[in-house]
Amino acid sequence: MACRHKLRQNLQRVKREQRTSSDDAVVQGTTIPQSSGADARCISGLRLKLDDVCRALKVIKDALADLEDIRNTVSTLRETVKTEMKRVREESAAIAQRILLKVDKIHHYLTCESGPAKDQPRSSKFEWRVENFSKLKEQMLGGKAKYFYNDNFYVGSHGYKMHLGATLADNSKGKVCLIVYTHITRNPYDRTLQWPYRRRSTFVVVDQKTNCHHKVAEMVPQELGRKQKHCFQRIKSGPNEGIGFTALISLEDSEKAYLMKDSLIVHFTTCDV
């Protein structure tokens, strides 16, 4: 009987210990209350909401970064547009200025060609017809000749004695171009003329096919630098150094529109400034 009583006590003690262990969990000497099912569901829901908030914050952060990139791009584009507009305005102004100068030169040429009016300064015009141009071109390109000239002529009945010259040379772009220039030579009337030579001079390569696209270049001695002054002084011996325009017209262009029947026409017009 005593043994049965002792066994019953041991079983009761084990059951009490099991109930106690099911109510409390012992971890590293600290008792942690176990959560109920409702608490676990609440915590799980909070975790899900926290995850949603974190994802939303990440989306907002990425959107702000994209917005900053867009702002930087717009700022760069704005500066680029400003720079390009400034460049276009400057180029347009330069082109307009060149067009006005070209129109003025053509107007001067046409005015001199049609004859001076009573209230305009007296002008003189000389026409140089370069015959056998293909032969001259072949000689110069082959090194047999360097220049070709026209006969002397007078600017006015008792004016300056001059002649024109031309040659072929490469320009900065590697194209062969026609260079036209003029020389002032000695003549019996030099002592009665005004020195240095001050007349406005115009070179014109005539468009023989359409008569519309003449190549015009104008020279005003007073507007040239000191290095060219000696070209317009009174001659002491021999002709003065020639002065004119390099790359007035490319050889390719001259053969397309300005050459007819193997002849090239150059007009040289002078007019009092």
pLDDT per residue of the chain (273 residues) written in tens, 0 to 9: 554 555 566 556 655 655 555 444 444 444 445 556 677 777 777 788 888 888 888 888 888 888 888 988 898 888 899 889 988 988 888 888 888 777 776 766 665 544 443 333 356 888 999 999 889 888 888 888 888 888 888 887 678 899 999 988 887 677 888 889 898 988 888 888 888 888 888 999 898 888 888 888 888 888 887 788 888 888 877 777 888 877 677 877 777 778 889 999 999 998 876
**174 and 186 Cβ atoms separated by less than 8 Å:** no
User: What pLDDT, on the 0 to 100 scale, is given for residue 18?
Assistant: 53
Its pTM stands at 0.53
How far lies 159's CA from each of 113, 123, 155, 234, in Å? Answer: 19, 11, 5, 13
For the chain, how big is the Rg over CA atoms in Å?
49
Q: Which of 112, 103, 133, 146 is nearest to 265 (CA)?
A: 133
Joined tokens for residue 89: 């305005």
The whole-number pLDDT of residue 164 equals: 92
For position 16, what pLDDT does the model report?
Answer: 64
Distance CA 76, CA 82 (A): 10
Q: Residue 120: what pLDDT?
A: 34
Query: How far apart, in Å, are the Cα atoms of 108 and each of 28, 102, 111?
Result: 111, 10, 5
Q: What is the pLDDT of residue 247?
A: 65
